């Protein structure tokens, strides 16, 4: 549909000059400037000490004997978080929608851990933990309930729950239960999962809950009249809404968990190179430049995972709850993210939506 004229970003390279010499020169100059900036930043980045390790502790046995559940652990931030916590000695349960992909990722991680153990300066010191794969589809309340039932039957303890999985700016879709996909997966699926596992977390205390949000929460609002986005849908706004919901959920949960020795904190990982942006269309002409800029400017998954690892394992945050972190440091939130009345109302409505209350 349209006027028949191609957008500038869709023109073949040979047609750029047809737009006029001035346009062609300006475009070339902009591309060269961006390339130069990316290369300069990359040079500065690699002139330093390499990958920045932000976590609060690196003791190989720090998480020995601890069981950790990570949602969406087969790729990106979740995979990097799982790898590091296993290296620290944890028994990590990977809760993933696609079991085959999760098994493949777990196999790769096990091989990497064996290589690390063989090549390390002190092989065998501390001892890596264990990886377990379990199927969990956060877009299905039925799947969440089945997963939690299995957890409660088979796991005697749960020391850390990391709500990491997410979907980013997808076209309008609904979950199995009829919820808008981003709100349904990013908020409601994790809301039900956490509530169903609270008893196990409490009996395992001291224990921790870690929630992965985003700085983009700043652009979202909780519209109680259209939580399901049936009146209007903007994929960017709805992602931001779900990330704001993550923060409000964390703060209300922290209030409810006072005195239980179970803590819950929320974080933003920064801008990370992961497959989370698979629904974002990058024009073919711009893609090489985008890839170069993302390589120079964006965090790697290992770098992006450091705050999750820190909140899950560091003694520095023992007893800390209801806080918002970035780069392993506490950060301030906007007023709308600390509104207690909105947080309580969202909690009450979420309970009804996922069937915890009739």
Q: What is the CATH number of the domain that holds 277?
A: 3.40.50.720
Scored b (16 or more CB within 10 A) or e, 235-270 reads bebbbbbbbbbbbbbbbbbbeebeeebbbbbbbbbe
3-class SS of residue 174: strand
Is residue 232 domain-resident? yes
* Angle subtended at Cα 95 by Cα 345 and Cα 178, rounded to the nearest 5 degrees: 45
Domain of 124?
59-354
Residue with tokens 């909690």: 347
Residue 280 is predicted with a pLDDT of 55
**For residue 87, which of 121, 64, 56, 53 has the smallest C-alpha distance?**
64
Residue 249 is predicted with a pLDDT of 98
Residue 26 is predicted with a pLDDT of 45
Is residue 17 domain-resident? no
Is residue 324 domain-resident? yes
Residue 278 is predicted with a pLDDT of 53
Residue 215 is predicted with a pLDDT of 96
Residue 289 is predicted with a pLDDT of 54
Beta-carbon neighbour count of residue 200 at 10 Å?
20
* d(C-alpha 192, C-alpha 29), whole Å: 52
Is residue 257 domain-resident? yes
Is residue 23 domain-resident? no
For 58-67, write each residue's pLDDT tens digit: 677 899 999 9
Q: How many distinct structural domains can be found in the chain?
A: 1
Helix 287-297 to helix 21-47 angle (10° resolution) is 30
- Number of H helices and E strands in the chain, helices first, is 11, 8
67 has which bridge partners?
A: 91
Active site residues: 239
Mean pLDDT by 10 residues, the chain (358 residues): 37 37 46 49 43 52 95 95 96 97 95 80 61 98 98 98 95 97 98 98 98 97 96 96 98 98 97 57 56 60 96 98 98 98 98 93
Q: Tokens representing 182?
A: 């981003």
CA 238 to chain centroid, in Å, comes to 16
Q: Tokens representing 217?
A: 């929460």
For 160-190, write each residue's pLDDT tens digit: 999 999 999 899 999 999 999 999 999 999 9
Scored b (16 or more CB within 10 A) or e, 208-232 reads bbbbbbbebbeebebeeeebebeee
Residue count of the chain, please give it: 358
Is residue 53 domain-resident? no
Is residue 16 domain-resident? no
**For residue 313, which of 212, 210, 214 has the smallest C-alpha distance?**
210
Residue with tokens 């109302």: 345
Residue 9 is predicted with a pLDDT of 34
What global pTM score does this model have? Answer: 0.81
Residue 54 is predicted with a pLDDT of 44
Is residue 332 domain-resident? yes
Q: What share of the chain is helix, strand, coil (3-state, %, to 5)?
A: 50, 10, 40
């Amino acid at each position: 549909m349209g006027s028949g004229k191609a957008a500038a970003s869709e023109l073949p390279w040979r047609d750029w000059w047809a737009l006029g010499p001035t346009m062609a020169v300006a475009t070339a100059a902009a591309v060269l400037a961006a390339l130069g900036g990316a290369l300069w930043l990359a040079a500065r980045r690699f002139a330093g000490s390499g990958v920045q390790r932000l976590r609060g502790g690196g003791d190989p046995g720090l998480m020995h004997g601890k069981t950790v559940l990570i949602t969406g652990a087969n790729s990106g931030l979740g995979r990097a978080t799982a790898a590091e916590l296993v290296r620290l000695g944890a028994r990590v349960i990977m809760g993933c929608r696609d079991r085959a992909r999760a098994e493949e990722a777990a196999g790769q991680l096990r091989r990497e851990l064996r290589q690390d153990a063989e090549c390390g300066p002190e092989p065998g010191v501390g001892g890596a933990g264990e990886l377990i794969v379990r199927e969990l589809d956060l877009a299905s309340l039925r799947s969440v309930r089945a997963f939690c039932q299995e957890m409660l039957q088979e796991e005697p303890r749960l020391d850390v729950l990391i709500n990491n999985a997410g979907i980013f700016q997808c076209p309008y879709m609904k979950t199995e239960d009829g919820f808008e996909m981003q709100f349904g997966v990013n908020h409601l699926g994790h809301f039900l999962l956490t509530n169903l596992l609270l008893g196990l977390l409490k009996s395992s205390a001291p224990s921790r809950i870690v929630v992965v949000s985003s700085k983009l929460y700043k652009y979202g609002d909780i519209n109680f009249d259209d939580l399901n986005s049936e009146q209007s849908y903007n994929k960017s706004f709805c992602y931001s809404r779900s990330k704001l919901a993550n923060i409000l959920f964390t703060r209300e949960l922290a209030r409810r968990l006072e005195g239980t020795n179970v803590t819950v904190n929320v974080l933003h990982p920064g801008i990370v190179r992961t497959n989370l942006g698979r629904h974002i269309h990058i024009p073919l002409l711009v893609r090489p430049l985008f890839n170069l800029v993302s390589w120079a400017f964006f965090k790697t998954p290992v770098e992006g995972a450091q705050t999750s690892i820190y909140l899950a394992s560091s003694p520095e945050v023992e007893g800390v709850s209801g806080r918002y972190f970035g780069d392993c440091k506490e950060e301030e939130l906007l007023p709308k993210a600390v509104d207690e009345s909105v947080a309580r109302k969202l909690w009450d409505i979420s309970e009804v939506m996922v069937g915890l209350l009739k």
